[in-house]
Structure 1
Amino acid sequence: MNIALIIENSQAAKNGIVHDALKSVVDPLGHTVHHYGMYTPEDKAHLTYPMIGILAGILINSKAADFIVTGCGTGMGSNLACNAMPGIFCGLVIDPTDAFLFGQINDGNAISMPYAKGFGWAAELNLQDCYRKLFEVERGVGYPKERAAVMAENRGVLSKLKEASCKDMLTVLKSVDQNLLKTAISGEKFQDQFFPNSQDQEMSDYLKGVLAS
């Protein structure tokens, strides 16, 4: 699984804590982490939470990533921005129980976490425990198990609702503020990580044009 990590600008100083906690859990499971920034508070490309939504939409819809791990101060802004994009089903995860239940019941493709609110002593242990509850077990099997079929049916209904209420991602990219889009994809490692992994040539070509403009 390709997991994309995205850190919002106000929490960039915690990049190392989040990145290390994620890799310590998923590397032994054979997953790959692609870090799309921010890396330090001094990065030239400052990612706001609306930009995180755009990035998440690009990465999931192009199949450059299978799962998004992101967050901001409360986790709320990034969660809202991700869920505004087609094909993104993002859960707000604060503790390991949230992570487990989101994975078992909702089986989405993104999580947003609070990296300021409640982020105190031993916060890295909470991050690791959340990632374990999410990635070490099979997702989507239901909880409680006897309601698994109903939960799977509801996920399908929600997916169809999303399709009906959202435009396709390329249309979204062409419709949004192009300066906002260009800033969102201007991170120092975006091109090296995205273009080799993207499976949507039309979207890749469009983004290359945006970057060259």
Structure 2
Amino acid sequence: MKIALIQASTQIARNHLLFEETKRATEHLGAEVFNFGVVENEENFSYIQISLCVGLLLNSGAIDYVVTGCSSGNGMAIAANALPNVICGYLPTPSDAFLFGRINQGNCASLSLGLNFGWGGEINLRFTLEKLFEAPMNTGYPVESAERKKRDAARFKAIKKLAQTDMLSVLTGLEEELVSPIFRKRELIDFILENATNSELTAFLRAKIK
């Protein structure tokens, strides 16, 4: 399992903590965790731009799961869910994370990295990530409703696929000013080009970084 970590520029100070806690929470899965920032001395990226990075990582096939966040976590979740093939949970508490990890068959978690992140905030973050990645995932919950929950998750994915366009159409339909900073985030783009399974998307990216 390959997990990417990437958060909005407003929460640069939380990047290292989020990276370390994600590694800790997924160690039992044998997961590889890749940190794509945002860190100091980078361009500033809004949560909208980072959500596009999330979409690129998942739609390219280079990554299986993304852990992200912004000041509240809510804006990032909404923006990420607007993108094709991204199912993002807004997870302010461990119980939210546990239910999302069991029921919704998601591939992205958005965390609150500013709002209510006071004394003991790192403890809530740790427990939230632990409950999200607690094995086994995607089993349905509660047990007596598990099969129905799994059917509903599959139906939601089908609706999302019918209701949304593809990632390439998203990137080409947006103004250059919004998307061009993403193509300059070379660590992320190079990783996608080396690990992606979506040849159409990688061809587009190669053309953009020439």
Q: Identify the TM-score tier after normalising by the shorter chain.
A: over 0.9
- Superposed, which structure 2 residues align to 1:23-172 within 5 Å? 23-40=23-40, 42-43=41-42, 45-172=43-170
Give yes or no for contact 2:9–2:38 (8 Å, CA) kept in 1: yes
- Superposed, which structure 2 residues align to 1:180-191 within 5 Å? 180-191=178-189
Give yes or no for contact 1:34–1:193 (8 Å, CA) kept in 2: no
Q: Identity of paired residues, percent?
A: 34
SS in 1 for 2:209: helix
Give yes or no for contact 1:71–1:115 (8 Å, CA) kept in 2: yes
User: Aligned letter for 1:35?
Assistant: N
Q: Tell me which residue corresponds to 2:7.
A: 7
Structure 1 Cα separation of the partners of residues 109 and 54 of structure 2: 10
When normalised by structure 2's length, the TM-score is 0.94
Deviation at 1:206, TM superposition (A): 0.6
Q: What stretches of structure 2 of length at least 5 have no aligned partner?
A: none
Q: Tell me which residue corresponds to 2:19.
A: 19
User: Aligned letter for 1:37?
Assistant: G
User: Aligned letter for 1:82?
Assistant: A
Output one character per residue of 1:123-146: Cα deviation in whole Å (capped at 9) or x when no partner. 222222111112131111111111
User: Aligned letter for 1:57?
Assistant: G
RMSD over aligned CA atoms reads 1.4
Deviation at 1:100, TM superposition (A): 0.4
SS in 2 for 1:4: strand
Aligned length: 210
